[in-house]
Structure 1
Amino acid sequence: MSDTQASASPLPSTEAAADPAASDLVVIARQAILDDKRAVYGYELFDRSVAASSHTAASDAALLFNALSFAGSEALGDRKTVFINCTHESLVGRHLELIHPERVVLEVPILGANAEPEQIERLLPILGDLRARGFRIAFNQDVLRRAYTSWLPHASFIKLDLQAFKPELAEPLVKFARAHSEARLVAEKVETAEQYERMAALGVKLFQGYWFAQPTVVKAQTIRPSQATILQLINLVRKQAAVTEIEELLKKDPTLSFNLLRFINSSGFGLSVEITSFRHAVMILGLKKLFRWAALLLTTSRNTGSPPAVGQTAVVRGRLMELLAAELLPPDECDNAFVVGVFSLLDVMLGIPLQQALETVALPQSVVDALMHGTGVFAPFLELTRACESGDDAAFARTAEALHLSNRQVNWAHLQALAWAESLLEQGD
């Protein structure tokens, strides 16, 4: 895991992680699952923002959404398989439509030793549907009970909790699991060398526990759009607005567009190419998934009212750069000019270095060059935009002349950009 993407530290208490003062942080714990060569096979994720007793379908959705949208599954899983604990209710949640099934293993609990046969059978169609969609399912050793025989064909993994049964039962459990399923076995809660050696001797190939690695936490700073803006997006999607109209809304709110690009380029989404434009993101995601993403974003966002001043400044920068670029560059490059402007203040909005912020979202190299190095086709436009903000006459004159733009052209574009940003504030009230 890159230190610039997220910070990993020893696992804090749930109370500390759930501190309301840290509400701008996504805090997710992960524990490595290793193969028999001690290489990382995947990670199990735990939501440290809620107590274990509060594990619900809603918290399942929030955990997965936050992992992809804010912490990024590259930071959480280094593109490894991610294991997510699920409630039975969350198995039918629409949030699962947002992820690539090959990236995630759903850990499903059994109903309990005293569950009625009808209750057990009722979940079979749901498990079958998940498998048909490509999801892999993990159960614990309780699925080896006679009552759950019908679930075994759906098991991709069976996790054997070494704290849940006596050592002498390990061999019969392993033999039974192999005889009645094709699942890969995972020895979990391995705390001693003796436990590891016993399970390895039985042919178990995957291991998880404190003997290998303590859980660590991944923290990521979040910027969340105002609920009013997200509602505008939801309304546009519900009325099946044109892509151009949705793109315009994304261009109005840098936090909304930043989160969308970061989400759609996360490894959990499963794309093989990076998406770098708002229009492309909307077209790739589609209205159905865009609606689901916006709805989940709404549930995790605070009602902050009007956009903060820094957000308004970012929008002005973006619009001004777009207008100036339109005088000299092709339309596609004007879109990238807008991105340079709105993302030039990501470090301020996130409270982290700009380089770290940019590593969480895919952008064209020309955009990165302008933001990070002050080079390339967009660099003089950004410098001119900053000169307009600061009133630096010398920088204004130098960059305007270099771009062959008159004072009148630049001032008129600046006034238009300010008026446009002001109109957005009025729409959001």
Structure 2
Amino acid sequence: MSDAILGQVALGYSPFIDRNRAVTATRLTVFPLKPDAVLDATQLLHAVGNVWPADGARASLSVASENLLRELLQTRPSTNLMIEIPVFMAADPANVEAIVALHAQGSTLLIKGRPLQELPREVLPCFKYSIIDLADDRRVTEGAIAPAGVSRNIPHVQSGVTSVADMEASFNRGAAAVLGWPIDDVLSTAAVGGKKAGQTDLQVIVELINRVDKQEPIEKLEGTLKRDPSLAFKLMRYINSPAFGLSVEISSFRHAIMMLGYQRLKRWLALLLATASKDTNLRPVMFAAVRRGLFMEELVRSSNDDEMRNEMFICGVFSLLDRMFRQPFSELMRTIPVPERVYQALVDGTGPYQPYFDLVKAVESESLYDFRTAADNLMMSVSEINRAELRALTAAAQLD
């Protein structure tokens, strides 16, 4: 089947996060590059189905094209694909039959926005959740308790959340989930559980990265890793995941070094470092870091430059360590060895990897304007970027 639609739209993504800080689904936003373009909903479902098959994880489609969304309402997406419907389309009598039919066949529907008029009686029960932007939520300014006579008949998902404080407040107001990346907290040395976040938990991995960087003997590396058996187990799980693509099972850390070599092992230690924190509030940050690393690697896969691919992976995975350690990169990079080009991007915001990093952040922010600007700066085609993004999301799903 043709995937021409990947050259006609810009794709963005963000997570659904529940009150336990677990990522329960991924939102995929779809922006048409030309407002009057005729887009094929079947092609979209085929491209999405390669990442989230019917028996796979849940995803939500947020389509910023009324014509494409109307066509999508006439299809039969797999039940793990949720469909977001703007309130103006939900209120249109012309869409009632399609919405009711989708609901009847098991699709999960979400309504976006605050209704300015009463919805048709038939469609109201079809929506499992409403999506309410933080800026439009009356309860934010009126308090956590709803005003007299005001109630919500549909559980809500809070969008527009950019900090842990916003996330916690949304759950206190009764949100079933928040939508977005709560990673914009200002860096501080505030303690979590009486100590600087992550320092003790991550010390072993930082030491191991330094030893691998120096290519120390296997015996010394094994001795370091044995100080935390849970980290050894997690590292083996990552290396043996389908995303790694090895044809044989890695049975020990020694075996991993023999099979991978020091340089390839460093990238998976980087992944381990970015996902080892036990702070539940950092789970969305760790989730974002993994996807950043995989996405940045995929953006340069066609270069056939293994060194560049590994460095781009590390750059993306390490890009949120400042949040995890609550230290600026200028301090962190004194203890964690990284290649010069990675250092330039993370510490100075410069160098050859910075434009790729800008593109990844544009995709995460679901901004069409920033997506266009970043793509132009890299001189990459939209279809090439979208394919890299979908490959990264596929690999991330294999790691989860």
TM-score, with length taken from structure 2: 0.38
Give TM-score, length-normalised by structure 1: 0.36
Larger Rg: 1
